[in-house]
Structure 1
């Protein structure tokens, strides 16, 4: 028979595994269909589809090398968060039957992975892309509509995962 504590642990493992699978697919898509999302990064940094006569166009970056480095960094960042998520999933499964403190400690990689992903969605997409490069002004290259709900969804998982078994 499963106790509430065991069921919650299973739920936490499933959430981390789903997140890890998701970010793995995102990284895989960015690697295997490199040009599609590279164009996204490039146009956001160029700011070529923001409002015309914008006073903030001085922020745009027209160097393709910077676009490529930024996109490669983003893909590497996604890969790291995916790996940490899978490692976290593995340790959580491995320590599923252990005492509460030991299981909680086994969530470290998962917590780091989720936190890194929160930074990506909020800082990289909302702050840098959305506000610095004014991505929200673009009809074609606007990822803010995806970034905000992703941040909220991952934040909920993060809050649930970081909760100890014995916390109410």
Structure 2
């Protein structure tokens, strides 16, 4: 393979990774903006999970229900943390994706762009895995709540982690 062919092959990989990272970043920005634009319906989700007031009729976990947060100030602080995490995740992944696209065009720093994407993906993992699966799912027993978002959180995180693994791999000049 000639040097030019190798260069084209590498740039195609940068392009693919950049588009993937950019789409993940835009997803984060759309989710965050949706939580702002449609504040009340998304706020209801967080409020009901934290207050544990919409548990399934079969759930009898009185000991777990003692964990409920009823103070609206703390509930809103939790919602603010989620939306902020989504927004920053979206911005970082978008910046990383744009940087990878610039690297594909020969005008960007691939390592820096991958690192920025890595930070954004880690923040997404904190929001959806730690926030929704660990805190919401287990601490607040979201699995027994009528407002259960665990499967969506797992779907988001699965895609982001798989993408993170792909994007962090060294490009090959096959």
Verify same fold: TM over 0.5: yes
Q: Deviations over 1:82-136 (max 9, x none)?
A: 111121122212222559xx52333211111111101211100000000000000
Q: RMSD of the alignment, in Å? A: 2.1
* 1:147 aligned counterpart, secondary structure: helix
Query: CA 1:44–1:167 in 2, change beyond 3 Å: closer, same or farther?
Result: farther
1:31-50 pair list within 5 angstroms = 31-50=36-55
1:71-110 pair list within 5 angstroms = 71-98=79-106, 102-110=109-117
1:1-168 pair list within 5 angstroms = 3-50=8-55, 51-98=59-106, 102-138=109-145, 140-166=146-172
Q: Deviations over 1:122-154 (max 9, x none)?
A: 10000000000000011x200011111111111
Distance in 2 between the 1:10 and 1:80 partners? 23
Q: Indicate the structure (1 or 2) with the bigger Cα radius of gyration.
A: 2
Distance in 1 between the 2:173 and 2:158 partners? 22
Q: Would the aligned equivalents of 1:92 and 1:107 in 2 still touch at CA under 8 Å?
A: yes
- Gaps of at least 5 residues in structure 2 are none
Query: CA 1:53–1:20 in 2, change beyond 3 Å: closer, same or farther?
Result: closer
- The runs of 4+ residues in structure 1 deviating greater than 3 Å are 1-4
* 2:62 aligned counterpart, secondary structure: coil
- Gaps of at least 5 residues in structure 1 are none
Using the size of structure 2 for normalisation, the TM-score is 0.87
Distance in 1 between the 2:103 and 2:12 partners? 14
Q: Would the aligned equivalents of 1:81 and 1:116 in 2 still touch at CA under 8 Å?
A: yes
Q: Would the aligned equivalents of 1:115 and 1:158 in 2 still touch at CA under 8 Å?
A: no
